[in-house]
Amino acid sequence: MTLLTHFDTPVSEPISSQILQRVVDQLTELSMMEITPSNPLYNLYQYAIGYEVHLYLQALDGTKGISVELIVATDAQAPDTVTGFALYLPVKDDPQACGIAYMAASTPAVTQAMVQQVIARYPHTELTCSVRNVEQYEAMGFQVLGSRGPRVLMNTRDHCTDGLMGVLDVSAVYSSTEVRQIHTYLLNRNGKKAMVEAEKKRDRQIDLLTLKARTFVAERLGRA
């Protein structure tokens, strides 16, 4: 049995640590480019996307000027063990709307339980996902609205909210000293040629997924 806990204030360090570990462990699913461990840049994105989530967890204290909420799933048999999390952003001026920003879970059943909890709070829920996960979210009541980069844009309604969603500017993470240090380490370990090819591979993957999402949406919505 899965236990779900809602947070709109900072979580404890043990919970935060387990959430960030889940980000590290499930990076391929969480990252927009679906980067895999075979890419030498994988470790860099483990840190960067983990730090993105860390910043949003910090924003639960209200000091960042945006609204952040969190659903944490735990195992009823081991209530101190996090089995999933959904971090979502309520929409200003639209009390029924939110957008799921980051989500990872141990099983599809945990994902479904968390999403249902989010929808119960915000009936007008939006998320993006890979093409392969569209059917999973359609079964939960989401509709395909369009594409957003390499992902499919889905919503529980047939339109996006007109309200504004506050987000953090995480671009500084990618130019931080820590990211530069990780890149330097990876460069020394793998060599310049391998790192250049890793970046090209990442970019090709993004282009491929973007085309795949656009094509899927065009076919699904009859825009081909």
Q: Which of 70, 46, 51, 50 is nearest to 60 (CA)?
A: 70
Give the DSSP per-residue string, 18-60. HHHHHHHHTHHHHSTT---TTSTTHHHHHHHHHHHHHHHHHGG
User: What pLDDT is stored for residue 76 in this prediction?
Assistant: 86
Asked if 138 and 65 touch (Cβ cutoff 8 Å), the reply is no
Give the DSSP per-residue string, 70-97. EEEEEETTEEEEEEEEEEEEEEET-TTE
- Tell me the CATH number at 194: 3.40.630.30
Q: How far apart, in whole angstroms, are the C-alpha atoms of residue 91 and residue 177?
A: 33
Tens digits of per-residue pLDDT, 53-95?
999 999 999 999 999 999 999 998 888 999 999 999 999 999 9
Q: How far apart, in whole angstroms, are the C-alpha atoms of residue 139 and residue 137?
A: 5
Q: What DSSP element (H or E) covers 218?
A: helix 192-220
Q: How far apart, in whole angstroms, are the C-alpha atoms of residue 119 and residue 124?
A: 7
User: What pLDDT is stored for residue 223 in this prediction?
Assistant: 63
For the segment 174-201, the average pLDDT, to the nearest whole number, is 97
Average pLDDT of the chain? 96
The secondary structure of residue 11, as a DSSP letter, is P
Q: String of b and e for 199-214 (b: at least 16 CB within 10 Å)? A: eebbeebbeebbebbb
Q: Give the angle 192-205-53 at the CA atoms, nearest 5°.
A: 85
Tens digits of per-residue pLDDT, 91-138?
999 999 999 999 999 999 999 999 999 999 999 999 999 999 999 999
Number of domains comprising the chain: 1
Q: How far apart, in whole angstroms, are the C-alpha atoms of residue 153 and residue 128?
A: 5
The pTM of this model reads 0.94
Q: How far apart, in whole angstroms, are the C-alpha atoms of residue 125 and residue 40?
A: 35
Question: What length does the chain have?
Answer: 224
Burial class, 112, CB count within 10 angstroms (exposed 0-12 / middle 13-18 / buried 19+): middle
Tens digits of per-residue pLDDT, 151-177?
999 999 999 999 999 999 999 999 999
Domain span at 134: 2-220
Tens digits of per-residue pLDDT, 200-219?
999 999 999 999 999 999 99
